[in-house]
Structure 1
Amino acid sequence: MSLKRCRTCGVLTLALSFGLLVSPPARAQTVDAQTVASAQSLYDQAVSEMDAGQFAPACPKLEEVTRLIPEGLGAKLTLAECYEKTGRLASAWAQYSLVETLAGRTGQAERLREAVAAAAVLKPRLAMLTVAVPAEVRAIAGLVIAWDGVTLGEEQWESALPVDAGAHRLVATAPGRRAWEEAVEVRGEGAPVIVEVKPLVVETVAPAAVEGRRGPEEAPSERAWQRPAALVALGVGVIGVGVGATLGGLAIARNGQSNEGHCNAENLCNQEGFALREQALALGNGSTVAMIAGGALLAGGAVLWFTAPARGKDKGAGELGRARVAVVPGGVLLQGRW
C-alpha cells in the first residue's frame, strides 16, 4: 500500500490500528472512548489538510494523535509522511524506524513492509551530524552537550546522527565553566555536518563581587588617615598651648602693673589700677581656655599617633606604644612606654 493510499484510508483504520496491538481488557484500562474520539477528530483534520497540501498545520495535529494513542501505527506512518513533505527528513526517518520496530513486535506485516521501504528510501538523503569532542574537552568534569535542548549521551558523541535541515544550536556546559554554544545551519540532503566542541573557559569571579572581611594585612590601609590627623591635632594643640601661655604671661604682667602704685594690699585700686586688673582677668580667662583647648588637641593627637597601625609591619612585629596623656595646670603631661 502506498503512502497516499494509507493516508486516505487512515480515517477508517486509526482506531482499528490500536485494537490490533492490545487485548480488549488492556484497551479498557489504558484508553477511554473520549480519547479515541479526540484522536480520530484530529487525525481527520490533519488528513484533510494534507490532501489540500497544507502540511505545516497538519503535522502538529498528528503529533498530538500519536501522543494520545502511542500504539497507533497508522498515525505514525501519516506523521512520517507529513514530516517528509515539510523537509524534516530525519524526523520522518525516525518515525518510519519506530513503526518498523513496533510492527515487527506485533506481527503487522503490511505496516512493517511499508515502514522498511520508506526508511530505506529516506536514509541516503539524511544530513548526518557528528559532534566532535576533543580529549581535553571530554575530560571536563560534569560536561553536558545538548542539541536543540536535548542532551546527547556520551555514546552519541563522535557518532553520525541524522538531523533535520534548518537552524540548530549546540550547547556545552559544565560546573564552574562558561557555557559554549554554536549556531549550526544544516543545508542540503545527505550532507555530513561536523561540529567540534571548543574548550569551556573557567568561570572567574570579578573582584568587586567578592565579599568578606578584609585580612589582617589590609588593616593599616583602613586607618591610613590616623597619622595625618594626629599631626594636625598636635600642631593645632601646640599653637593653642602657645597662645594660652602668651595670654597667661600678659595677664601676669597686667596684674603686676596694677600693683605698682595703683592697688594696695587690700586690692583697693584707683581707676587705672581697676582697668589693669580687668585686663589681667580677661587675659587670664583667655589663657585658661586656650590652654585647655590646646591640651585637649595635644592629647587627642597623641592618642591618634600612638594607636595608629605601624607602617610596613605586620601584627606580630611588635606591640604598639601605650601612652597616657593628661592636661595639668600650665601644660600637658605625656607618659608612655615604647
Structure 2
Amino acid sequence: MVVTSRVVACISAAWFFFSADALAQQPTPTPPAREQKAGSDLAVAESLFREGKAAMREKRYDEACSKFAESMRLDPQMGTLLNLAACHEMNGKTASAWGEFNEVMAQAARSGQSSRVEFAKQHAAAVEAKLSRVKFVSAPPTSAGATIKIDGKAVGAGALGTSIPMDPGSHRIEVSASGKKSRDVTFDVPQGPSTTEIQVPALDDASVATAPSAEPTTPKEPSRSPSSGKRTAGFVLGGVGIAGLAAGAIFGVVYLGKKSDYNQCTGFCGGSEQADQDQKSSAQTMGWISTAAFGVGIVGLAAGTILILTSKPASAEKSAQLRVVPSLSLQRGGVSLEGAF
C-alpha cells in the first residue's frame, strides 16, 4: 500500500506539473505596456522563467519560486503567474498560491482562455481548503490612529478583526502611532486548515526628552564664601591690634619720661609756673595717646582672634558687624568696640 501511495503521488505531481507547463505555453495576448519595456528586461525575464521551470522539475521550489517572482516583476505575464502559483502550492505557500490562482482565473476569463480558467479554478478551490488564516484583534486604544504593518506591508484598519489568509511560517507585526513607542511582535502561523488569533500589541506613551537649552552657559566666577571674608577681617583687626599695642607701648615710654621730668623739676628747675603747666600737659597728652593706642590694640587683637576662631561654613555663619569707637577726654582715653557676632 505504501508503494502504491507513493506511485499515485508521483503521478499526480507529474500530471500537475505538465498541466501547468502546457497551459503556460499557450499564447497570451501581449499587453500594450509590454511593447514599451526595454529589450534587456524582457530577455532577463525570459531567462529567469526558463531557469524557474528547470528548478521546478528538480523540485527545488524555493529557487523556482524566486526566479518566477523576479521574472514576473520584470515582465508580468499570465503564464509566469500561473507557474508562480503552482510553485507556491507545491512549496506550501498556500495563501500566496490561492491569491495567484484567483488572479490567473480573472485574467484568463477576461481574455477568453477557458482552459486556464478551469485549471486555476480547480487549484484555487483545492488550496482554499488548506488555508491558514490569522485574525488580528486590537483594543480601541491601540487601533485608534495606529499604523499596522504585517511583514513590512501596511494593513488597513478594516483588516482588524477579519480572518486573513497567510502563508504558514514566521511573520512579524509592527505597530506605531504618534506620541507612542513603536512595538513589533513575531508570531508563527501553523499549517492549515487553521485560524490563529493574534493580539495587536498595545503601545506605551513615548517619553518626552527635555530639549537642551540653546543659550550658551557663561562660567560664573567662584563667589567668595562669608567664612573666608570673616577670617580676612579677623586677620586685619588682629594686625590693627598689634599695631595699637606697639604704639601704646611707645607713647607709654614717652609719657613715663615726661612725667618723671615733671615730677623732678616742679618748683625746683627754675622755670615759670606756665612752663610747669605746659610740661604737665604734654606728659598727660602722651599718657592719653598711649592709653588710647593700648585700648585700640587690645580690642583689635581680641576682635580679630574672635573672628578667626569663630569662622564657620556659610550655613552656620552670621555676618559680623564691628565698629571701633575711640573715646578721648582730659581725664582719660580709650576705645570701645560695638557690633554683633
Both structures adopt the same fold (TM-score exceeding 0.5): yes
The aligned length equals 258
Compared CA separation, residues 67 and 328, structure 1 to 2 (3 A): farther
Q: Does 1:59 align with 2:61?
A: no
2:152 alignment partner AA: G
1:328 and 1:34 map into 2 onto residues whose CA distance is 107
Where does residue 251 of structure 1 map in the other structure?
246
For 2:66 and 2:133, how far apart are their aligned partners in 1? 24
1:161 aligns with 2:164: yes
Q: Equivalent residue for 2:31? A: 22
Q: d(CA) in 1 for partners of 2:73 and 2:120?
A: 19
Please say if residues 171 and 181 of structure 1, whose CA atoms lie closer than 8 Å, have aligned partners that are also in contact: yes
Query: 1: distance between equivalents of 2:44 and 2:23?
Result: 15
Secondary structure at the counterpart of residue 34 of structure 1:
helix
- Paired residues for 1:302-313 under 5 Å: none
Contact 2:94 2:167 in 1 (8 A): yes
- Relative distance call for 1:94 and 1:11 in structure 2 (3 A) is closer
The 5 A counterparts of 1:132-211 are 132-139=137-144, 142-205=145-208, 209=210, 211=212
Matched residue, 1:322: none
Aligned residue number for residue 5 of structure 1: 18
What SS class does the counterpart of residue 164 from structure 1 fall into?
Answer: coil
Correspondence 1:125 to 2:130: yes
Structure 1 runs, 4 residues or longer, greater than 6 Å off: 327-330
What RMSD over aligned residues (CA atoms) do the two structures have, in Å?
A: 3.9
Q: What's the CA shift for 1:171?
A: 1.6
What's the CA shift string for 1:151-181, capped at 9, x where partnerless?
Answer: 1011111111100111111121101111232
Greater shift after overlay, 41-50 or 195-204? 195-204
C-alpha separation in 2, matches of 1:165 and 1:205: 40
Aligned match of 1:229: 225
Alignment partners' CA distance in 2, 1:237 and 1:36: 95
Contact 2:185/2:201, CA 8 A, preserved across alignment:
no
Structure 1 residues 33 and 198: alpha-carbon distance in aligned structure 2, compared to 1, 3 A threshold = closer
Give the TM-score normalised by the residue count of structure 1: 0.65
Mapped contact 1:11–1:44 kept (Cα < 8 A): no
State the alpha-carbon separation in 2 of the partners of residues 95 and 328 from structure 1: 107
Corresponding position: 1:103 with 2:103: no
CA distance in 2, matches of 1:159, 1:248: 101
Structure 1: which 5+ runs fail to align? 215-222, 263-279, 307-324, 331-338
AA matched with 1:55? Y
Q: Distance in 1 between matches of 2:53 and 2:19?
A: 10
Kindly provide the CA deviation profile for residues 65-107 of structure 1, in whole angstroms up to 9, marking residues without a partner as x. 111121x111111111111122111111111111122222222
Cα 1:241/1:156, change in 2 over 3 Å: same
Q: Which runs of 5+ in 2 are unaligned?
A: 1-13, 259-292, 327-341
2:43 counterpart residue number: 37
